[in-house]
Structure 1
Amino acid sequence: IGAGPGGLTTAEYLRVAGYDVHVYDRYDRMGGLLTYGIPGFKLEKDVVERRTRRLADGGIVFRMNFEVGKDATLEDLRVQHDAVLIAVGVYAARDLVAPGAGSQGVVPALDYLIASNRTGLGDVVPDYENGTLNASGKDVVVVGGGDTAMDCVRTAIRQGATSVTCLYRRDKANMPGSLREVANAEEEGVTFEWLAAPRALSGDADAVTGVRAIRMRLGAPDASGRQSPEEIEGGDFDRPAQLVVKALGFEPENLPEAWSAPDLKTTRWGTVKADVRNQMTNLDGVFAAGDIVRGASLVVWAIKDGRDAADAMHRYLKSKVGAPALIAAE
């Protein structure tokens, strides 16, 4: 379940081993975030398309526009298949909590990136055409400091934004995103406001017009050991904005509820609980890999997890005959 990098990696290795492999995904194209999340200037989409087409030509069956929980429950898929892998990633966006955050023009990062990528692939995207998810001619503020935020600011520049500002509540040294991406964005004209966070958004329900931000400082470490941002009184400043992109990170969806699978165990963070030794969940024959287990992470980790899952599923399916490992140890 999931045609992103983790799921596709598992599918490829199991197909090469001779299994009948079916991949289910909510989107209309294979690739997951490789197709719809990462901008084309970082990952050319024809490369992804060639790769996924090769998998389909190799006999993997893809069921696209398939929503588990709507088109079938997890239990339905368990009945139909000898083993199931959950590799759906994490897509639930963390929300921006500030007055005015519900105004028109305040959009989730993934919606913004998907609209841009779909347009680049030749799709007609109404919300891109009507300007809702298009930065052209606008002052843009992106809130967040991760790689998704960097993708958004650089996409906005390419769409012809009048100005692009990134607000991040910690300093440059503590941002989770790539410093190389920051350097690229600065070179392209993005303004970074470090130690700054939105206090309120101006405008009305029909249109956002600006962001009032508050200056921050790093205070005492929190439970994780990371310094907590604290507000500086009297440090408010304003930035014009007709488009505000929320790039505050992602959390897992509530899969037990969405998939009618109340017995599927999750962690306190909402990720799927899987045995580190074999990647199996508490449900027999149901495995999990990638971001849905480790939380939002990098593509390379999803690929690594996908390889490990393929080997674990192979050993599970062949346990009665003592099959060797599917992937040789490196």
Structure 2
Amino acid sequence: MGKPTGFMEYQRELPTDFLPEERILHWKEFHRPFPEEKLQIQASRCMDCGTPFCHTGRIFNGSAAGCPIHNLIPEWNDLIYHGLWQQALERLNKTNNFPEFTGRVCPAPCEGSCTLGISNPPVTIKNNELAIIEKGFAEGWMVPEPPARRTGQKVAVVGSGPSGLACADLLNRAGHSVTVFERADRVGGLLMYGIPNMKLDKSILKRRVDLMSAEGIEFVTRTEVGRNLPAEKLLIDFDAAVLCCGATKPRDLPVEGRQLKGVHFAMEFLTGNTRNLLGSTLEDDGMTVISARGKDVIVIGGGDTGTDCVGTALRHGCRSVTQFEILDKPSPVRQADNPWPEWPRVLKVDYGQEESMAVSGEDPRIFNVQTKRIVGDDNGRVKEIHTIQVEWVTGANGRKEPREIPGTEKVFPAQLVLIAMGFLGPEDQLIEKLAIARDARTNVQAEYGRYTTSVPGIFAAGDMRRGQSLVVWAIHEGRGAAREVDRFLMGETELKG
């Protein structure tokens, strides 16, 4: 423990962000640098608990508690405090394949389970993690490390999101020859097209993919297994395959007017925007880009995807943006039924809401609101949304359900509606072609910890197996699947999943 009294002497401090009204004028990441001496002070706040919960990675009462990949958080906090950055990087790389991703986009369940957080603001774990890996790249410590020997075994990984990349990384380290198939034109899955550039600059993703390529992993883009590459090739050309295709089937909104022009799934909006941005133009070409410029935008659904839609719409120059959330407004503090070390279900203001408040003076979110119908103009384009307020009551089955409140109907102008209501599970085509069994939620059926599907030699990990979840859980599953594939191929494994 670097400084036993650090948590009593210092307050939590994070880097300041660029002002919201400034950052909505560009697509760059908006966090300012943090001086090294301040990073060491923040690391000194870690209590090096006798029983730390920050790295537990357990599910309590339906929510994550601690880091699913079991980062050695107290250890590298101590090393940061003593200025031993290279040793801190070694500790971090033992458990996390991609700290530059989690340090940017993870909601930090580790901080929700920080012991200091019981009575004080928690340790800045997420920012410390990001500082370690960025210093590693800046100092030239992150160099290609191809395996010393090859096993002669070939593995296919389908999907290049966080679970696929983590799985491929560990399998390559074990000496297997790994080919990653990605149907999009660029590697990264949701890291590339599901997360906007201001949260995760795509050069950061390319930097990691280039490193993995130099270590011997082959990436094949524009190739959808089961469509333009026969699914059976996975069983013929490879000794094992891992399906990491995500849960990309969006939850729809079955209301009148859903078919109107200008009503889109959130991922259509976000993906088109990133594609356009990488093409060095922000003009709406009428084909792949959905523009919010000059429009009243309604985002239906909360969560990270909804927030990303708000931030993207503001950068397009929308006239207004409103975000509908059917659930109750969270409390600003933990409630009795949400104790530490559970993930704190409290009201948070994310970057998109902060930016909207800077522009309009108010939070874009409206809670307890349900969309009744979408109305269009004579040309079949959306012009307004009709809503009603709801309250949550206990139904006959004992579950909470929304009940409409008479007299609370309202009409909102809208020329662009974005549906950000989450995802239902993986797409059907590849699963059906391989005749793989599914679970009750339509995910690929594969036991947690084993990751084996009903087809010998085929494994599954990430959202495709567990359902929509966090990037850090996807990395955890990709690592676990790699361990089990290695065991399947070699009879035993030294990989730590």
- Structure 1 residue 201 and structure 2 residue 374: aligned? yes
| Contact 1:69-1:260 within 8 A present in 2 as well | no
**Contact 1:143/1:197, CA 8 A, preserved across alignment:** no
Quote the offset at 1:324 in angstroms.
3.7
Match of 2:494 among 301, 325, 328: 325
Rg larger for: 2
Q: Using the TM superposition, give the Cα deviation of residue 141 of structure 1 relative to its aligned residue in structure 2, in angstroms.
A: 0.2
Q: How does 1:213-292 map to 2 (within 5 A)?
A: 213-220=387-394, 227-255=400-428, 257-261=429-433, 263-292=435-464
Deviates more, 1:142-151 or 1:261-270: 261-270
Counterpart secondary structure, 2:297: strand
8 Å CA contact retained: 2:263, 2:418: yes
Residue 285 of structure 2 aligns with which residue? Answer: 129
Give secondary structure in 2 for the equivalent of 1:179: coil
Label 1:178 to 1:125 Cα distance change in 2 as closer, same or farther (>3 A): farther
The structural deviation recorded for 1:84 is 0.4
Q: How far apart are 1:259 and its partner, in Å? A: 4.8
Q: Residue 304 of structure 2 aligns to which amino acid in structure 1?
A: D
Distance 1:253 1:292, change over 3 A: closer
Query: Does the alignment pair 1:147 with 2:321?
Result: no
Q: Distance in 2 between matches of 1:69 and 1:45?
A: 28
1:179 corresponding residue in structure 2: 348
1: CA distance, partners of 2:383 / 2:346: 27
Q: Distance in 1 between matches of 2:367 and 2:355?
A: 14
Judge conservation of contact 1:150–1:177 (CA < 8 Å) in 2. no
Q: Which amino acid aligns with 2:228?
A: D
Greater RCO, CA 8 A, separation 6+: 1
TM-score normalised according to structure 1 size? 0.90
Q: Which amino acid aligns with 2:298?
A: V
Compare 41-50 and 170-179 and name the one that shifted more. 170-179
Q: Do the aligned partners of residues 252 and 176 (structure 1) sit closer, same or farther apart at CA in structure 2, a change above 3 Å counting?
A: farther
CA distance in 1, matches of 2:445, 2:432: 17
Q: Distance in 2 between matches of 1:144 and 1:19?
A: 42
Verify: 1:307 aligned to 2:479, yes or no. yes
Is contact 1:280-1:288 (8 Å) kept? yes
CA–CA separation in structure 1 for the residues paired with 2:420 and 2:211: 33
| Rounded Cα–Cα distance in structure 1 between residues aligned with 2:162 and 2:355 | 26
- Structure 1: any 5+ residue segments left out of the alignment? none
Find out whether 1:46 has 2:220 as its counterpart: no
TM-aligned CA distance change 1:262 to 1:83, over 3 Å: closer
- Pick which of 258-267 and 26-35 moved more: 258-267
| Inter-CA distance 10–262: structure 2 relative to 1 (3 Å threshold) | closer
Q: Distance in 2 between matches of 1:221 and 1:28?
A: 47
Query: Alignment partner for residue 298 of structure 1, among 470, 476, 479?
Result: 470
Taking structure 1 as reference, are residues 259 and 124 closer, same or farther at Cα in structure 2, changes over 3 Å only?
farther
Encode CA deviations 1:198-254: one digit per residue, 9 max, x unaligned.
11111146310111111111111686x752111112211011100000111112234
Contact 1:218–1:227 at 8 Å: present in 2 too? yes
SS at match of 2:421: coil
Q: Which has the higher strand share?
A: 1
Structure 1 runs of 4+ off > 4 angstroms?
123-126, 174-178, 257-260
Q: What residue ranges of structure 2 are gaps of 5+ in the alignment?
A: 1-157, 332-343
Shift of 1:277: 3.4
Q: Which moved more, 1:169-178 or 1:101-110?
A: 169-178
What letter matches 2:263 in structure 1?
Answer: V
1:244 is paired with a residue whose SS is strand
Measure, in 1, the Cα distance between the counterparts of 2:196 and 2:255.
Answer: 28
For the residues of structure 2 that align with 1:3 and 1:176, how far apart are their CA atoms? Answer: 31
- Residue by residue, what CA displacement relative to the aligned partner does 1:291-320 show, whole Å, maximum 9, x if unpaired? 01111011000011111111111111001x
Check 1:259–1:280 CA distance in 2 against 1; reply closer, same or farther (3 A cut). closer
Count how many residue pairs are aligned between Structure 1 and Structure 2.
Answer: 322
1:258 is displaced (CA, Å) by: 4.2
